[in-house]
Amino acid sequence: MSTINISLPDGSQKMFEQGIMPIEVAKEISHDLAKAALIAEVNAKKVSLKAPINEDAALKILTFEDEEGKTAYRHSASHIMAQAVKRLFSDTKFGIGPAIKDGFYYDFDSSHTFTTEDYEAIEAEMKKIIKENIPFERQELPREEALRFFDSLGETYKVELINDLPEDAVISIYGQGDFVDLCAGPHLPSTGYVKAVKLMSLAGAYWRGSEKNKMLQRIYATAFPSKELLEAYLFKVEEAKKRDHRKLGAELELFMILDEGPGFPFFLPKGMILRNELENFWRQEHIKWGYQEIKTPIILSRALWERSGHWDHYQENMYYTKIDGEDYSVKPMNCPGGMLVYKSKPHSYRELPIRMGELGLVHRHELSGALHGLMRVRCFTQDDAHIFMLPEQIKDELINVTKLIDSFYKLFGFSYHVELSTRPENAMGDPETWEVATNVLREAMEAMEMPYTVNEGDGAFYGPKLDFHLEDSIGRTWQCGTIQLDFQMPEKFELTYTGADNQPHRPVMIHRVVFGSIERFIGILTEHYAGAFPLWLSPVQAKILTITDRQNGYAHEVAQKLTAAGIRAEVDDRNEKIGYKIRAAQTEKVPYMLVLGDKEMEEGTAALRKRSEGDLGARSMDEIVALLKDEIIHKK
C-alpha cells in the first residue's frame, strides 16, 4: 500500500499508509489527544475521526476546546435526543436539530405535548443510547433516492428540506441503530462519546421560522464531555438567573419597560444616578484623552441618510416621519451628524486629529421578539466618537483608542478579547480600499501585541472594525466596544482639510464606542456585579440605620454631613428592629451601613458595616467620610 504525507498544525510532517483514519493519527501523536479527539479537519474540510485519508493532507484533530469540536459534539447529542424521543413517542416527525451556543435543540411534530415532566424519561433514554455506544454511520444518496427514503418514513419536513436542494445534490444521511437523520455532518464516531446531557427548556417554534407554517415543539438541551463541566455550566445558568438585570432592575428600582413603550426603557431616580455617574465618568475621561463633546439632532432629512448610505443599506431598521411634506428619519446612528459638524468650517492639517464625542440618542426598529430588557431595545444612547485624521496618524489613533477602551474595561473588572471583522457583502467602496483599511487595523493590533481573531464578512457596510467582547464575572461574553475605520463617509460627505501643500485633501475617519450603548452597558454591569455596584456607582452609597426613635435626630445630622461631603445617603428610621433594617439594606445592595444607637449618638460616631465584609466597628464621622470619599474618588 502506498504512503501519504500528513502535515500537522505544529508544522511537522509524518508519513502514513494511505487510508489511515484521523483517530489513528491522533493515537500516534499522543494518548491524551486521541482520548480528547471528536472530529478532524482534513485539508480544511471537517470529517469524522474514522474517515480514511487517501492523499497528502493537512490534518488537525479537533476537541471540545475547538468551536467546531463543540458543534459536532452537541449536534451528535441532538441526534441522540431525537432518537430518544422517537423511541418514546413513535409518531414524532422531525424538523431540524442544530448545535447552538452552549447547547443544541431539536424541533418536533408530535401528537404528544411535551412538558418538563418528560425530561426525566427523555434523559434516561438518551443515557441508554449513549451506553449502547451506537456508531454514527454516514451514507450518501442521490437526491431522488433520498426523497423516496424519507417519504417512506413519513418525514415530510426532511422531504421539504431535500426538495430545496439543487437537482444534482448528493444527500448525506446519518444512521445510529434504529434512527436515521438527514444531516451534512460530521459526527462523533459513536453515541458513547457523549458523556453528560441535560434538557433545559421548551418552546414553540414555527417551521422554518414562518408564522404561516405549523408550530413545532422545540426542546433545548446541552451536552458536555464530563459531569463536572455540565455541573459548572448549570451553576452558571442558575447564577445568571439570579443576576438577571430585568429582575434586579425592578428590585433595585433602576428602570422599567412598560406596555405603553415596548423596547423604550423608563429610567427611575436610582437608575438615573447610575446612568449619570457613567456618563460623568465618560465625559471626564474623554476630556483627558483630547475629545470635544458635541450634540446632533435626533431627526434629520432623508437626503442626509441617502448621502450617508443608510437609506439604501439600513432602511428596514429606521423610523420615519414627514415634516413640511418632506421625508425625515429618526437617526439610527450618530455618524452623519458628526460629518456635518466637521464640515461646518474649514480645517487645516495642523488641527488633525480632531476627536469629537457624542452621547447620542438613537432609535432602531427591532422586532418585538428580539427585545430583551436593556440588552436589546429600540432606543438607546451610544457613546459615539468620530476621529478625523491624516493618513499617517491612523495607526497611532487606533492604538490610542484601544488604550482608552482598555482603561475603561479594566476599571469595571472586565477581561475581553478582540475580533477583527472584514468586508461584508453589502459593503460600500472598492475592495482595494477595504484591504488597506483592514491591514491598518491588523498592524495596530500587532503593534500593541494584542491577540485577536478574524470574523470574516462581519464589518460595517462602510468599513472594517475591531469588536471588543467583554467577559463578565460568571464567564459570559458581551460585545460592547467597537472601532471602525472608515474611508467611505469622508468621501460621501466630501470632507476635506487643507494640507501643508495648501491643497484640499480627504481625511480618514474612525468611528468608535466604548460602552456601546449606555442602556445595555447598565444591563451588563447589573449582571456582572449582581446588583452590588461599586461604591462610586451605587445609587445609595450609605444607609443610616437607627436602633430606636431616640437616634432619629442624630441620624438626619449624619445624613446631612455625608450629603455635604458628596456621599449619597438615606436614613432608615422606621419603627423596625435593627436586624430587619440591616437585612433590608443588604437586599438593596447598599455598600455601607451606619448603625446608630445611644452610645454612637453620645460619642458622635457610627457603627460601620460594609456590604462585603460585615461589621467594621465604631468609627468617627470624619473617619467614615474620609474612608468613603477615598473609595469613591479612586473608584475602588
Give me the active site residues, please.
335, 364, 382, 384, 386, 465, 511
Phi, psi of 146 (to 5 degrees): -65, -40
Using DSSP's 3-state secondary structure scheme, residue 470 falls into: strand
| Residue closest to 171 by CA, chosen among 155, 188, 184, 153 | 184
Is residue 156 left, alpha or beta, with left meaning phi > 0 and alpha meaning psi from -120 to 50? alpha
Residue 203, C-alpha cell as written in the block: 418552546
Q: Which of 420, 443, 425, 438 is nearest to 487 (CA)?
A: 438
Give how far Cα 53 sits from Cα of 18, 21, 37, 46, Å: 6, 6, 16, 12
**What residues pair up with 356 in beta bridges, in sequence order?**
292, 386
CA terminus-to-terminus distance, the chain: 69
| Pair 561, 619: CB distance under 8 Å | no
Reference 22, options 6, 10, 44; nearest CA is 6
Query: Which residues, listed in sequence order, are joined to residue 326 by a DSSP beta bridge?
Result: 323
Cα within 13 Å of Cα(159), Cβ side: 11
CA dist 130 and 146 (Å) reads 27
- Dist. CA 384–CA 367, nearest whole Å: 24
Least Cα distance to 83 among 187, 238, 230 occurs for 187
- Report DSSP letters for 136-162, one per residue: PEEEEEEHHHHHHHHHHTT-HHHHHHH
SS (H, E, C) 564-608: HCCCCEEEECCCCCHHHHHHHHHHCCCCEEEEECHHHHHHCEEEE
Alpha carbon separation from 74 to 39, 174, 204 (Å, rounded): 12, 15, 21
Which residue, 94, 51, 54, 98, is CA-closest to 72? 98
Task: Report DSSP letters for 19-57, one per residue.
Answer: TB-HHHHHHHH-HHHHHH--EEEETTEEE-TT--B-S-E
- The DSSP result for 604-622, as a single string, is TEEEEEETTTEEEEEEEHH
**Maximum Cα–Cα distance for the chain, whole Å?**
97
CA distance 560 to 487: 55
Q: DSSP 3-state helix, strand, coil percentages of the chain (rounded to 5)? A: 40, 30, 30
